[in-house]
Structure 1
Amino acid sequence: MLRNLLLALLVLCVLSPTFSFGQTKKKYIVNGYVGGFRGLVKTEEIDVEKLTHINYAFVNVKDSLAVLTNLATDSTNFRKLNELKVKNPDLKILISIGGWAWSENFSDAVLTETSRQKFAKTSVDIIRQFNLDGVDIDWEYPAMRGEEGNIFRPEDKQNFTLMFKAIRQELDLLEKEKGRKFQLTTAVGASQSFVDNTEMGLVALYTDYIYIMTYDYGGRNGTVGHHTNLYSNGESSSADKSVKSFMAAGVPASKIVLGAAFYGKGFEAETISNHGLGEKRIKSVQGGGYTKLKDTLIDQNGYKKYYDKKAKAPYLFNDSTKVLITYDDEKSIKLKCKYVKKNDLAGIFFWEYFNDPKEYLITEISKNLD
């Protein structure tokens, strides 16, 4: 009888390539940031079935409180985002607190146990009030300068960890109250200095996912470089370097989410040598979202497309204006998805959903992280 059972299982395996012994197919994170700070979000234009998560950006930090800056707009956006769950019941919607422009008060907000509890409670109260699914922290940056005027201090290194502990405790209370799980995540700077100024191995104990912002790199020492390249060309930082840095700091691969840019960044180079790459940077110029780049600039209007095989990154260069535009395209997105799978990462995320309204890149993600 046992022999017949084993034979039946063997036949099932042969006939069904997807059959597995008690294993389910891995579900990768696909998270799109949505900029609610601009006003009402056009939720009807979100292809929600291609997403697992939406991070709503941003919630402000004032007087040790998590603060919605435009309650009327934010509350409408939360209602409309929740309605997307009709099409995708598994969708998770998180508030993202901070961002580049609203990180100046984080250091004060988490300075003492009392202030941390205040901040944690008001963060989770927003989740409770609007029936959302979790909190994402985007502090740019603990213990080091972000935007000019930001408050930062050495104590941020430990307080960054203690902040997540406090929020996790508040979320645990909410889980008991609601009888379901709530997530805690963080978007983190991709630099080695960010790792050095935090305790990421400890932070990972309290968080569900770590979103590494593997974009906005640029060249070193005032030169023109890639901004969202997968590998280094010898002159640049890279997503691969960042991932390895966070893993060395104790963050499990299973919690790391790789960043992609749905926008390009432009730089004027001093000369046309090497199509501007690695040349002295004169100034930053407008890049634009990927749909705009693909439809109006790639091999058009004086721009020629090039590909850095070592960095696995595309770029445009205009010989007459000496402007280089660095970005992600379908090919680099496909390679990032392959990298996620190869290294057993949690998934991929991107800034920002509406930078690519024709869905060139999210379609590529959907095809390659199925």
Structure 2
Amino acid sequence: MRGEGRVLCLVLPLLLLLCKARSAPCPCQDPALCTPIALAKDFEVYVFDVGGQSWKAYDWSQVTTVATFGKYDPELMCYAHSKGARLVLTGDVPLKSIVDPKSRADWIAQKLDLAKAQFMDGINIDIEQPVLKESPEYYALTALVEETAEAFRREIPGSQVTFDVAWSPKCVDIRCYNYTGIASACDFLFVMSYDEQSQIWTECVAGANAPYNQTLAGYEEYIDMNIDPKKLVMGVPWYGYDYKCLNLSEDHVCVLHKVPFRGAPCSDAAGKQVPYGAMMKQVNGSRSGRQWEDQQKAPYYEYEDADGVAHQVWYDDPQSISLKASYVQKRGLRGIGMWNGDLLDYSDDPIAKWQTEAMWQALRPSP
């Protein structure tokens, strides 16, 4: 755990009180930029950043929140605040370790201290571990979100606390969480509407990472649990899956190696994740070019590797993302976001610039 700028608290009560305040100097040229963003936007465009400098090329006319999966960058914090966007921590913890209330409180205190020392605006809790209903971990996870939200809102007024969930609340990947309790406690759920083939129970064949009808069905399931649409942010993938086919038929059925995952006999682990920018460099030279599968409403292409083995690559592009983004607007969801903001090609290549701009624009399609 990083602790930049924290002072050493000794014994006197006065010093203990002082230690609760931010002690690090503001890294921004304008000290006002170290003030947390307190006002929420009506519509969220939520970006996961994994480090590096790609953030400088984000479409900041849209971005409302950046969740940092990479190393903390004070320059990013200053810039995000200058644009009125939040910068939040991300947090994960083994669930068995927070069944104990004291361990849970210690974890929250560490995250809170870090957020305050880095002038951040909240936390995204990203716990993707299997949990059984009514288990000790089930209750501990709900308590963790409730207690984190209470602590952050008390210590950083206006801060944002969010929680990442699978594309469906129906125990996907054995993630049988208390979804209604968690949604009630936090600002919103970031719904990871991708990796929807993590458990393949039917034929072991390649398919869309986030098929349209399946994706939308997941949101209806959350809403049917009486979770307010304004508590849901749709996550879309800026990456695809490259599958090596055991057999590729003339009607484009790619049979996969069976790679089990959490009880399912087959999964998308049979493929490898590929950034959108990399796929755009390959698709036009592939043997099939871009194809569109209308039932799943997703693009794909096929190619042969140097060993002559057939591959099928499924991904999302502006056409498929725009369809889902239109649902976000019509259904009145809280917003949209992606995993992750750094997977596009932000180079000066004219074609890449056009492709990247189109992906950002797809998040807010014109009516």
Q: What is the TM-score with the length of structure 2 in the denominator?
A: 0.74
CA-to-aligned-CA distance 1:283-329 (integer Å, 9 cap, x gap): 834452112212x2223132432212121111112366321111110
CA distance in 2: counterparts of 1:310 and 1:299, whole angstroms = 23
Q: Cα–Cα, structure 1 residues 365 and 183, in superposed 2: closer, same or farther, change >3 Å?
A: same
Match of 2:325 among 329, 334, 337: 337
Note if 1:354 corresponds to 2:366.
no
Q: Which amino acid aligns with 1:56?
A: T
In structure 2, what is the equivalent of residue 184 of structure 1? 161
In the TM superposition, what are the counterparts of 1:137-176 in structure 2 within 5 Å? 137-143=125-131, 154-175=135-156
Partner of 1:209: 188
CA distance in 2, matches of 1:348, 1:275: 34
1:30 aligns with 2:18: no
Q: Which amino acid aligns with 1:157?
A: Y
C-alpha contact 2:248 2:254 (8 A) present in aligned 1: no
State the AA in 2 paired with 1:290: Y
1:292 — aligned with what?
Answer: 278
Structure 2 partner of 1:314? 299
2:22 corresponds to which residue? none
What fraction of aligned residue pairs are identical, expressed as a percent?
17
Amino acid at match of 1:97: G
Q: 1:83 to 1:260 in 2, by over 3 A?
A: same
Structure 1: distance between partners of 2:363 and 2:234? 15
Amino acid of the structure 1 residue aligned with 2:341: Y
* 2:79 maps to amino acid: L
Question: In the superposition, relative to structure 1, how do residues 116 and 274 fare at CA in structure 2: closer, same or farther (>3 Å)?
Answer: farther
Taking the aligned partners of 1:251 and 1:126, their CA distance within structure 2 comes to: 31
Instruction: Name the structure 1 match of 2:4.
Output: none
C-alpha distance 123-323 of structure 1, shift in aligned 2 (>3 A) = same
Whole-Å separation in 1 of the counterparts to 2:55 and 2:283: 28
Which residue, out of 237, 243, 246, partners 1:270? 246
* Structure 1 position 225 matched with structure 2 position 240: no
Q: Could you say what secondary structure the match of 2:218 adopts?
A: helix
Residue identity in the other structure for 1:189: A
Q: Name the CA distance, whole Å, in 2 between partners of 1:305 and 1:275.
A: 15
Aligned to 1:83: 78
Give the 3 Å change call, closer, same or farther, for CA 369–141 of structure 1 in structure 2: farther
1:27 Cα shift?
3.4
Cα RMSD after superposing both structures = 2.6
Q: 1:43 to 1:226 in 2, by over 3 A?
A: closer
Conservation of the 8 A alpha-carbon contact between 1:107 and 1:142: no
Is contact 1:204–1:251 with CA below 8 Å preserved after alignment?
yes
Q: 1:167 to 1:270 in 2, by over 3 A?
A: same
Distance 1:306 1:281 in 2: 23
Q: Equivalent residue for 1:15?
A: none
Q: Report if the CA contact (8 A) 1:141-1:189 is conserved.
A: no
What is the identity, as a one-letter code, of the residue corresponding to 2:181? L
Query: CA distance change for structure 1 residues 362 and 94 in 2, over 3 Å: closer, same or farther?
Result: farther
State the distance in 2 between where 1:282 and 1:306 align: 25
Letter in 1 for 2:235: G
Q: Which moved more, 1:126-135 or 1:27-36?
A: 27-36
The separation in 2 between residues aligned to 1:274 and 1:164, in whole angstroms, is 49
User: Structure 1 306/200 Cα, relative in aligned 2: closer, same or farther at 3 Å?
Assistant: same
Amino acid at match of 2:278: K
- Distance in 1 separating the partners of 2:190 and 2:366: 17
Q: Which residue type is aligned with residue 146 of structure 2?
A: K
Shift of residue 249 of structure 1? 2.9
Cα distance in 2 between the residues matched to 1:44 and 1:51: 12
Distance 2:251 2:89 in 1: 41
SS in 2 for 1:48: coil
User: SS at the partner of 1:118?
Assistant: helix
Secondary structure of the corresponding residue to residue 212 of structure 2: coil
Q: Structure 1's 340 and 43: CA in aligned 2 closer, same or farther, altered over 3 A?
A: closer
Runs of 4+ displaced beyond 6 Å: none
- What is the aligned partner in structure 2 of residue 92 from structure 1? 86
